[in-house]
Amino acid sequence: MSNVAQKQESSIKDYIVGVTLQAAAVRAEIAAASTEIKNQALKFIADEILNSSTILKQQNQLDLEAGKKRGLDSALLDRLELTDARIDAMVEGLMQVCTLDDPVGQTTDMQTRPSGIQVGKMRVPIGVILIIYESRPNVTADAAALCIKSGNVTILRGGSEALHSNQAIAKCIHAGLDKAGLSKDIVQVITTADREAVTELLHADDYIDIVIPRGGKSLIEKIMQESRIPLIKHLDGVCHVYIHEEADIDMATKIAFNSKAQRFGVCNAMETLLVDKNIAKQVLPGLQKKFAEKNIELRGCELTREFLNDIAEASEQDWYEEYLGPVLAIKIVDGVSQAMQHIEKYGSHHTDTIVTNNQDIAQQFLREVDSSSVMINASTRFADGFEYGLGAEIGISTDKLHARGPVGLEGLTTQKFIVLGDGNIRE
């Protein structure tokens, strides 16, 4: 390693040590902050963003120009752009988090024990949360809002392509926190694009309690490999709709079509359709027409191709695939057990739905499918924090520990046991 590289690396290390120590120093402050103060901070931040829209767009322009020079594709550049509508949406997002109930300090399950002590649980912040994300600068404001409201310290590391935009938003956040009488270090936005900073952060397991990676699969896999800190994450959304033999044909068609075609590039879109062999003939041809109208390519198992003309054969790899686009794999199955076996083997434990009028089968599917969201007679597209009433989400977790499914304010908190006595001792 050259001297220059060595020096650079050690200065990044020093920078990250500073960031984590500053985070630790304000942990107790935001954890103890009242709901009123936290809401005030969110409103002040919203005001700052609204009043800074010209600066935000100027700074964003720098990122866009650099992105074009670096040859970023148009989809990425689109996600990177801060328009007036997107700035308004950030402001609305902040105000919406204000209206959500504060989970911190909520007590549940209080009971008096034979010893005389009262025992229950109190909801408390997790501590310090690191969020690593790509391109969209609005995440900076959205994630900060959820973390402030849930009493957590946040370290935000956005994509290098959005560095100027994120720093401009950070200024608004700091000004808002400051106006509310809170320390600016409660939200820190990493100021370097150097990848080494991420590595240092992912090893700071003494100071950071949880990492939330948001972005493409390769980003998340890299973080999984590197991190010594637990993650809240999902990798894939290989979601299934299973049409049971006792399904209503219209309902099944509507749900399958909506799950696939309402939006393609989202993690809760259906990627594989499972159809019971006894209903395939009634339901598949109608669906093929509807999918054709949206130019959706179908790939089927051998049996599927007996029911439908002109469709390609699905390979083994297709069953694992998250297309995130206008392609759908279709498989004929023989009964709910075979459907569940397919989901267990090829699925990603994200969201799976059954369409049936048989209540026993529906309940079996609901109970036995091991995914973060399991549905009866509803579109997979509902798997979303807002649709579930969480208000806003920081992401979706397909892990089993801690938060699972869409993660909102509650998922950003944990619980501790509390014991209230009047001098009780153990005999």
30 is an interface residue for a copy of itself by CB under 8 A: no
Cα(177)–Cα(155) distance, integer angstroms: 15
Cβ 274 to a copy of itself, closest distance in Å?
17
366 is an interface residue for a copy of itself by CB under 8 A: yes
Binding residues for a copy of itself restricted to 78-97, rule: CB under 8 A = none
* Residue of 215, 322, 344, 358 that binds a copy of itself (CB under 8 A): 344
Comparing CB distances to a copy of itself, the nearer of 172 and 283 is 283
Assign residue 316 a region: left if phi > 0, alpha if psi is -120 to 50, beta otherwise?
Answer: alpha
* Residue of 47, 178, 196, 248 that binds a copy of itself (CB under 8 A): 248
Sign of the C-alpha dihedral computed for residues 366, 369, 373 and 377 taken in this order? negative
How many angstroms from the chain centroid is the CA of residue 89?
Answer: 18
415 close to 121: Cβ distance less than 8 angstroms: yes
* Residue of 12, 372, 392, 412 that binds a copy of itself (CB under 8 A): 372
Binding residues for a copy of itself restricted to 113-142, rule: CB under 8 A = 113, 115, 117, 119, 122, 124, 126-127
Residue with tokens 């109970």: 367
Comparing CB distances to a copy of itself, the nearer of 105 and 286 is 105
Comparing CB distances to a copy of itself, the nearer of 68 and 386 is 386
Residue with tokens 């998250």: 322
Cβ 110 to a copy of itself, closest distance in Å?
11
Q: What residues does 224 pair with on adjacent strands?
A: none
Q: Name the maximum alpha-carbon separation found in the chain.
A: 78
Comparing CB distances to a copy of itself, the nearer of 58 and 183 is 183
- What mask of x and - would describe binding to a copy of itself in positions 218 to 247, judged by CB under 8 A? ------------x-----------------
Comparing CB distances to a copy of itself, the nearer of 17 and 419 is 419
303 close to 277: Cβ distance less than 8 angstroms: yes
Radius of gyration of the chain (CA): 24
37 is an interface residue for a copy of itself by CB under 8 A: no
157 close to 130: Cβ distance less than 8 angstroms: yes
188 is an interface residue for a copy of itself by CB under 8 A: no
DSSP string, 232-251: -------EEEEE-TTS-HHH
Cβ 15 to a copy of itself, closest distance in Å?
24
Cα–Cα distance list, 111 to 122, 123, 346, 413, 415 (Å):
13, 16, 44, 22, 16
* Residue of 8, 15, 22, 31 that binds a copy of itself (CB under 8 A): 31
Cβ 399 to a copy of itself, closest distance in Å?
8
402 is an interface residue for a copy of itself by CB under 8 A: yes
Cα(31)–Cα(173) distance, integer angstroms: 18
Q: Where are the alpha helices (DSSP H) in 33-152?
A: 35-51, 53-70, 74-80, 84-99, 138-149
Contact residues toward a copy of itself (CB under 8 A) are 28, 31-32, 105, 111, 113, 115, 117, 119, 122, 124, 126-127, 209-210, 230, 248, 250-251, 254-255, 257-258, 262, 340, 344, 353, 366-368, 370-379, 381-383, 387-389, 400-402, 404-406, 414-426
